[in-house]
Structure 1
Amino acid sequence: MHLMSRVVNRWRLMQSAKRIIQPRTISSTCNLNEESTISGHVKDTAETVIIGGGVVGTSIAYHLAKAGMKDVVLLEKTELTAGSTWHAAGLTTYYHPGINVKNIHYYSLKLYEQLEAETGQEVGLHKCGSLRLATTPERVDEFKYQMARQGWNKADQWLISTEEIMEKFPLIKADDILMGLWNPGDGHIDPYSLTQALAIGARKYGASLCQSSPVHAMAQCEDGSWTVDTNEGQIKAKRVINAGGFWAREIGQMVGIDLPLVPIHHQYLVTSTIPEVAALKQELPVIRDLEGSYYLRQERTGLLAGPYEHQDKMALCDDWYDHGPPKDFGKELFQPDLDRISWNTEKAMERVPVLATGNIQSVVSGPITYTPDILPMIGPYQGLRNYWCAVGFGYGIVHAGGVGQYLTEWIMNGEPMYDLIECDPNRYSKWTDRTYCLAKCRESYGMNNAVGYPKEERFAGRPTYRTSGIYDLLKTRGADMGFHAGWEQPHWFALEGDDAGYKPSFRRSNWFKPVGREVDLVMNKAGLIDLSPFGKIKVTGKDAAAYIDHICANNLPKIGMTNISHMLTPKGRVYSELTVTRLGENDFMCITGSGSELHDLRWMEKKLHEGDFDVTLNNKTDDLACLGIAGPKSRDIISKVTSTDMSGKAFKFLHIRDLEIAGVKVKAIRISYTGELGWEMYCDKNDMKQLYTSLLEAGEEFGVGDFGGYALNSLRLDKGFRAWGSEMTTDQNPLEAGLEMFVKMDKAADFIGKAALHEIAAKPATRKLVNLIVDTKDVDPEGNESIWHGDKVVGMTTSGCYSYCINKSIAYGYVPVELSQVGNTLEVDLLGEKCTATVESGPPMLVEIARNRQKKKQ
């Protein structure tokens, strides 16, 4: 009989009579008593009420109280750690494939290192390091890709050889391992003891932690505060934070919101003593065998293995999604199902053969909560005042410390301490329905260890209802779609003879030549692009002009005109970029990026409530479609289907006009992110197909065609256009980002961030955004790569791509001012190769208007 079969059968015999399986024994000592963690009574008032006593909620209580907030109350339904915390495997890692979440991990681990000294409570932190294993060339590329993005970050992370892997993990079978990714500060921690240490700290600094205190109802008061009903009475709170774990969706439903959270069954097994493990003089590092899709670590003198089974085998709690968790479910577990993880466990035994010799001491099968993209939802929620989320933690142990700090800084200081847009709760909306959530969470769990490519797309749950009206038509014309906040938008078009389909790579892939064709189309003829995912927010009311003047750093546009405006934080950092169009004296349309729609609307709502403005905000994103047309022939094409004078004198740059095109009423703005002659045309979504097909027909004689987001990105970088989320975020101020022309520091209105900007301007700048030409072959920069000068990392790229206009790779990046001189030579890390990068005086190309002015002067 196969080893795995013997192990499974032995386990079944041992546990056949048991319904609930207890997790491993807690490895550290808890010195808490009841009085140190539980307040005597629920208070009548609180500044902040935190709902949920898992490791995340407890960390938030600890950080808020330590920062000096008075009247912090945590309400736990049963007891601290109930839910997902108590049975977690406790892995801690500095690694994260994204960028901003690395900050969360870094702070967490540094906090956990000193928490015992601060609180007197052992936390069971094991800093044994961790190894990710590469056994395929694609995985090697992924490791090099991640290393290129790690250099400008804080934590140590190295690539190591097979021989070094065997030295660190002598029990491993390494004949097929090509490379390892080594994080020396990683390890694992005891989740129960960690939570209790945070609880001791929270209590020490004045927070009240109330166990056996379920929340029954909540309601918002007119002043934005909350009433929270518990068994012991009602609390009046300035704000509430939902940290409810797998109860978070039900907590959200109390106030009319539907959070896209799905509890998932996650299993891991723990062995009894294995002699070879017991004989080791040093603890084994955690390994993550990515092709086998499992993690494995030492647990005392045995081993712990936790698989992520394939999406066709994994189990999610769709009944919980529909009806909520069982009323009394707290410190219970599911019945294990070893058949589901048999393939992964078999791979683990092949990789670490001694695993097969150990008896299974316990199997833990418990709920963890996933969002559709795995990332948590952290921050204030749009549409509700003073309602904060800290939910959706598939990896709550390593996130807890950093999330507590992040939310505390935001709540106490009025703005986030750094950009974390990928975890914004407002990246989701009503398009995340049941079908989408279940399909996406299944996909995300099942692909937990899949290779993470640049320009990655995943296809479960798509499309949602968010299509522009020409989705099917664009598909027939070869559109390769990307997913943007629920919308489908073409990235590029495969025409006859092209290699069609999604084919991810760390190098130039099948989209490369078609995108060049689309760039050429826009530069020499005309192209159409679906821009419907733009966020579209109408601002009206008698104080609309004063309100826009207050929240935006640019001057107000004149009636019938548009400008680029930025909303800044009080500290003078870039919160958002808007295209502001003035339709009337107090009638504005604000356009923002697809991923920023509710992110920006929430900020606008908050600033509206803080001021005394008679203003109405109306989100028109789902109602209006947008079709872009750009290129030297675009004016000729539109002129064929409208009676409006489209000449340069009659329809000037940054002006808006009402047009009728083939019977469709259109608001057309003369603006294009390509930097070429072009218009954005807004119409009712139901009229989009008529508008699109009429322009296609009219443009046939001019060679009109389609282009997608990849070509648009290349064209905007050619012209030096910044992008929010890349060149500008809350990590940058507009002066270092080169946005001076859009920021009117001396305008009369006291716009948000004005005072801070004057302070920033009075000090010497320390870094600057520069244009780079990068000498590379088939790997183009895309952003977040480390920039080197000599043997030192000096900055990072923000965006990059291949410029089809100059046939070279280009990038934008932040470097110290002293290295920003034109002609200076730096290096950009691309897949492990340091490629020469030269600082340029500006972008490769002038925008169309500037080029025409040059021609006239000549």
Structure 2
Amino acid sequence: MDFRLSEEKDTAFLGKRWKDTAETVIIGGGCVGVSLAYHLAKAGMKDVVLLEKSELTAGSTWHAAGLTTYFHPGINLKKIHYYSIKLYESLEEETGQAVGFHQPGSVRIASTPARVDEFKYQMTRGRWHPNPQYYIEPEKVQELFPLLNMDKVLAGLHNPGDGHIDPYSLTMAFAAGARKYGAQLYFPAEVTDLIPQSNGSWNVVTHHGTIHAKRIVNATGFWAREVGKLIGFQHPLIPVHHQYVVTATVPEVKALKRELPVLRDLEGSYYLRQERDGLLFGPYESQEKMKLQDSWVTQGVPPGFGKELFESDLDRIMDHVEAAMDMVPVLKNADIINIVSGPITYSPDILPMVGPHQGVQNYWVAIGFGYGIIHAGGIGKFLSDWIMLGEPPFDLIELDPNRYGKWTTTQYTALKARESYGFNNIVGYPKEERFAGRPTERVSGVYEELKPKCSMGFHAGWEQPHWFYKPGDDIGYKPSFRRTNWFEPVGREYKQVMEKVGVIDLTPFGKFTIKGKDSVKLLDHLCANTIPKVGFTNISHMLTPRGRVYAELTVSQLSPGEFLLVTGSGSELHDLRWIEEVAVCGNYSVDISNVTDEVGVLGLAGPLARKVLQKLTPDDLSNTSFKFLQSRKISIDGIPVTAIRISYTGELGWELYHNRPDSSALYRALMQAGQEEGIDNFGTYAMNALRLEKGFRAWGAEMNCDTNPLEAGLEYFVKLNKPADFIGKEALKEVKEKGLHRKLVYLTLKTENVDPEGNETVWYNGKVVGNTTQEPTVTAPIKAWHLPMYLLNLVL
């Protein structure tokens, strides 16, 4: 039901209607929040309550341009876009509420050779998804959009079924559906406080009363920071001024017999669509010209701001207006009847934050949507499934709210949001790096020494060397869809580790300690592998209840009941949240600490690694004394170190864990000791090539929440016969009994100047049969593929 509430708390109306308890309280009545209410209620949740501060669609939804598209440059969000469009096609019939959905298709314009490469790159990645997408020649572009000036058009990317929808009507349809399935929507009902309870539930306080909720979901758009502050969070979000222009009737548009497709001129950085018999176009200004509403970050959102707009500024977007007039000449004579300038909310990397938040129980977020209309349907379904199932329905790690941490300052957020908005339509190269706001406070102890020698990459706030320069190298960041300046140097580093010895900075690893009387029990329940004995290490996987790979960890038992857990840099808080949740829900008596920022890590790898390291320590490092996967505390040149005999390169090596302030001294000692052996640096690009050639899997590539460990070839690390009832055990037994549908295999490719980058479509006899994972090695074109079982006998 929808309830418009009186401001008087003690009215008879509220006494009859106001709920005191709910399973889920959604805060925010924009398109995303109401979609979630609809999906949860439709999934069978009985007590769903949505609280809206003023009225539904207030904030950013009501003034949105309403664009919908199957296209997304990433992989996982294609699923979100696809679901949204299919839902919007049927929502009116389901709810009885018209949604104003137009589907004339869309055309993206390539007017430079780099854009043509980008379109071809996207075509290789798009075909293993159902989203319709076609690379088209200029003649077809003109046929689809006859009002174009074709002088600069080299190619197009066509998505049939794209279009636009009325955001207000869409939200009302979600509301009608939510009411139909039993959800209750209260407005105006501002949340004034959020009080966590000892059992993980919440008291949600409003002027009308308090609701006790099992979980809460923050879906409050540009109010998300204010709501987060109620529980001590500073969500890294900032409102951006976005403008679009609406024209009066354009005779040439009115004369057309069909609606124009949505046009995206990427070099001009604007979108353009038909609006009745006129046109609507919206630009994305450069980072120098765009405008942030940063006062809302420092001073808060004005209390009464809901369905208001900002003052328009046509001068700020004139470059884009002129570009649009050049590409679509009929605009030159069109009369502007409206300029809409409203707030949309950006995260630092432009992607929303979706899912449960680390650091507090049962607090979920669906915030930071710069493209909320196309995301609303799919995100509502994704979150609903996650809440109902207890695990994500598919991998969407790029939206994990826990990709940000304390290092994500207000200044960083503003700089990155400015960059992300200004780069909205830049060419999307593989291995893209963006440099605003860098470095953060997260720099390792060897950063200053390595910075002049290498090309740095950004990993969860950290700076980490990707590859190193030598005299004569073409240095710097030079992205391309073809082999570029890093290819030969990475091959050199690969050879260095294979033949001699190399040092790599691994400080960005996520690192946790777990100790306490239930530490073994907790890890035995979390991990599919057995728990290592004291002084030993193993590779373990945390599985979801359905038996999917939620995380991969290196687990070391340093002393009885004391463990060090290591994960990838991008998984730090993602994994920590899962561990903490299982510990709390199972009432395990443990102490969990995140030591990522305190502990530095250097890796030493190569056939001469033992010889170099032995010079610096009295401890016996021989193979009989210090075996593979052993861990122990040793002294290296007087520096206390926890040494683990393991290397992601697959070569002889150690990971050396130490106090972060000791990193520089430890690095210098290793480099000095290894001069005779020809020691040198290597970066993450070479490490990835080495691990792929060795057959080591990487979380996020060969395995993730879409993959079970048997598909990924991880049987060795899964102990189905161990006594402990680990998460996902029963589901995995069932998978094994029924048999696999697909399997990860390693194959070679013939390539010259263009290499696969990952997620390319695999074809067999004219049919899509699978996909690739990550880029090939630099010496042999080895590639990991997910293929159906029936093909394995043909390719192996």
Residue in 2 aligned with 1:382? 358
Task: Tell whether the 8 Å contact from 1:243 to 1:390 is kept in structure 2 after alignment.
Answer: yes
SS class of match (1:557): coil
**2:578 aligned counterpart, secondary structure:** helix
Q: 1:810 maps to what in 2?
A: 782
Aligned to 2:745: 770
- Selected match of 2:445 from 469, 472, 477: 469
TM-score (ref. length: structure 1):
0.91
CA apart distance, 1:783: 1.2
> Residue in 2 aligned with 1:78?
54
Is residue 415 of structure 1 aligned with residue 391 of structure 2?
yes
SS at match of 2:690: helix
Equivalent residue, structure 2, for 1:710: 685
Residue 428 (structure 1) shift: 0.3
Q: 2:110 aligned to 114, 121, 134, which one?
A: 134
Matches within 5 A, 1:374-773: 374-476=350-452, 478-773=453-748
**Counterpart contact for 2:490–2:778, Cα < 8 Å:** no
Distance 1:57 1:800 in 2: 38
Partners of 2:310 and 2:588 lie apart in 1 by 53
Give 1:151-550 correspondences, 5 Å limit.
151-476=127-452, 478-550=453-525
Query: What is the CA deviation profile of residues 411-468 of structure 1, one whole-angstrom value per residue up to 9, with x for unaligned ones?
Result: 0111111000000000000111011101000000000000000010000000000011
1:667, 1:681 within 8 Å by CA — same for their partners in 2?
Answer: yes
Q: Which amino acid aligns with 2:782?
A: I
Amino acid across the alignment from 2:285: E
Alignment partner, residue 86 of structure 2: 110
Give the secondary-structure state (helix, strand or coil) at the position aligned to 2:781.
Answer: strand
- Alpha-carbon distance between aligned partners in 2 of 1:782 and 1:161, rounded to the nearest angstrom: 25
Query: Offset at 1:772?
Result: 1.0
Distance in 2 separating the partners of 1:58 and 1:229: 20
Q: How far, CA to CA, are the matches of 1:42 and 1:257 in structure 2?
A: 28
CA distance in 1, matches of 2:381, 2:315: 40
Query: Aligned with 1:340: secondary structure?
Result: helix
* Counterpart Cα distance in 2 of 1:711 and 1:79: 54
Residue 13 of structure 1: aligned partner: none
- Distance in 2 between residues matched to 1:199 and 1:312, nearest whole Å: 39
Report if aligned partners of 2:605, 2:651 keep a CA contact under 8 Å in 1.
yes
The CA RMSD over aligned residues, in Å, is: 1.2
Distance of 1:799 and 1:438 partners within structure 2: 32
**Alpha-carbon distance in 2 for matches of 1:623, 1:42:** 49
Provide, for residues 322-366 of structure 1, a one-character-per-residue CA deviation record: whole Å limited to 9, x for no partner. Answer: 111111000000000111100011100110011121111100000
Q: Say which of 145, 163, 176 aligns to 2:121.
A: 145
Deviations 1:542-584 (A, max 9, x none): 0100110010000111110000000000011100000000112
Q: Counterpart of 1:783?
A: 758
- What SS does the corresponding residue of 1:771 show, helix, strand or coil? strand
CA contact (8 A) 2:3 2:187 kept: no
Q: Give the drift of 1:71.
A: 1.4
Local SS of the residue matching 1:768: strand
Q: Within 1, Cα distance between the matches of 2:207 and 2:585? A: 33
Residue matched to 2:792: 820
Q: How big is the shift at 1:715? A: 0.1
Following TM superposition, by how much is the alpha carbon of 1:650 offset from its aligned partner in structure 2, in angstroms? 1.0
Check conservation: 2:128, 2:771, Cα contact below 8 A. yes
Give the match for residue 8 of structure 2. none
Q: TM-score, normalised by structure 2?
A: 0.98
Aligned counterparts of 1:225 and 1:782: Cα–Cα separation in 2: 44
Q: How far off its partner does 1:509 sit?
A: 0.5
- Partners of 2:655 and 2:749 in 1: how far apart? 32
- Asked whether the equivalents of residues 780 and 802 of structure 1 are also in contact (C-alpha less than 8 Å), the reply is no
Query: Secondary structure at 2:773's aligned position in 1?
Result: strand
Equivalent position amino acid for 1:817 in 2: M
Q: Distance in 2 between matches of 1:443 and 1:613?
A: 44
Task: Say whether the 8 Å CA contact 2:3–2:185 is kept in structure 1.
Answer: no
Structure 1 residue 42: deviation in Å? Answer: 3.3
> What amino acid is aligned across from residue 310 of structure 2 in structure 1?
F
Q: CA deviation at 1:104?
A: 0.7
* Deviation digits for residues 666-695 of structure 1 (CA, Å, limit 9, x no counterpart): 000000000000000000110000000010
SS of residue matched to 2:437: coil
Shift of 1:820: 1.4
Give the conservation status (yes or no) of the 8 Å contact 1:781–1:810.
no
Q: Is the 8 A contact 1:782 1:811 kept in 2?
A: no
Separation of aligned partners in 2, 1:276 and 1:650:
83
Contact 2:237–2:346 (8 Å) recurs in 1? yes
The DSSP-based 3-state class of the residue aligned with 1:820 is helix
2-structure distance, mates of 1:106, 1:34:
34
- The answer (yes or no) to whether the contact 1:41–1:232 under 8 Å persists in 2 is no
Alignment gaps of 5+ in structure 2: 6-12
The structural deviation recorded for 1:33 is 11
Moved more, 609-618 or 662-671: 609-618
What is the DSSP-based 3-state SS (H/G/I as helix, E as strand, rest coil) of the residue aligned with 2:457? strand
Q: What's 1:51 paired with?
A: 27
CA contact (8 A) 2:3 2:186 kept: no
Matched-pair contact (CA < 8 Å) for 1:454–1:505: yes
Percent of aligned pairs with the same amino acid: 62
Look up the match of 1:28. none
| Alignment deviations for residues 171-213 of structure 1 (CA, whole Å, 9 cap, x no partner) | 1111211100000010000000000000011011111111111
Name which of 68, 84, 109 aligns with 2:44. Answer: 68
Structure 1: gaps (5+ residues): 1-31, 825-838, 841-858
Kindly state the Cα deviation for residue 802 of structure 1 after the two structures are TM-superposed. Answer: 3.0
Change (3 A) 1:439 1:147: same
In 2, the alpha carbon distance for the partners of 1:385 and 1:684 equals: 31
Does the 8 Å contact 2:274/2:280 carry over to 1? yes
Judged with a 3 Å threshold, the aligned counterparts in structure 2 of structure 1 residues 625 and 290 are, in CA distance, closer, same or farther, namely same
Matched pairs, number? 787
